[in-house]
Amino acid sequence: MENEEIKIENQEITEEAAASPIIRLKNVDVFQQKILVLSDVSFTVNSGELVYMVGKTGSGKSNLLKLMYGDVAPASGEMEVVGYDMRHIKTKNIQRLRRKLGIVFQDYQLLQDRSVSENLTFITKVTGWKDKKLCNKRIEEVLEMVGLKTKGHKMPHQLSGGEQQRVCIARALINNPEVILADEPTGNLDPESSYDIFYLFKKISEQGTAVLVATHDFLIINQIPSRVIQIRDGKVFE
């Protein structure tokens, strides 16, 4: 894999970043197609935290996550994600940023013509893994982490919705990310499967990875309580 060590000449990552919150926003405005959807957003997320970001559909949760993985740049304020200054991040470093993140979507986005293991192998190839033995070992590790140790040979259509989402989480874990960003990850799942996914996120956070989950599933939040950031009326509240 590509060496991601902090370098002195890289002005986007500083030594202080290692001791700072893994995600930090201060007075950030969030736009969607030039329309202001969230204003003056300020909060932090630390390593090992499980944080829920709750709000109605269309409240701006997904737009905020897009800022975090570099899909769009913040127009104002200060924003750092895994040591990168998101206001001034260079295009060439966005891919490096994303290798430090694991992203989980509602609609799975699995390759339907490839097995579970082949889906994960594809990610290792596009993110620079060269050693096939290490690649296969990591795939085994992440499948065991998400409870799918015996399902690597299965095709996506042979899995339940909850199992497919577990594959997506395994995919997000491949590069041992510092942060997992999940956008309505249980939107298509039944309550039991939803609980299992959120419990998995809790276990991941306890191992040191920050997990930020955008959701409106208040039932699960009550069952697996953790810190909550609420989005309401264009504002963000702790």
pTM of the full predicted structure? 0.87
Domains of the chain: 47-60+94-237 (3.40.50.300)
E strand or H helix that includes residue 42: strand 35-45
Helices 191-206 and 161-173: angle between axes, nearest 10 degrees: 20
Full strand arrangement of the beta sheet holding 101-104:
101-104, 179-183, 210-215, 50-54, 227-232, 235-237
Structure tokens at 38: 């969230």
Look at residue 34 in the predicted model and tell me its pLDDT.
86
* Residue 24, number of CB atoms within 10 A of its CB: 18
Residues of the chain falling short of pLDDT 50:
1-19
Q: What is the pLDDT of residue 13?
A: 39
DSSP 122-160: HHHHHTT---HHHHHHHHHHHHHHTT-TT-TT--GGGS-
pLDDT of the residue at 109: 86
Q: Quick one: pLDDT at residue 11?
A: 37
pLDDT single digits (tens) 68-98: 999 988 989 999 999 999 999 999 999 999 9
Q: How far is it, in rounded angstroms, from Cα 192 to Cα 217? A: 12
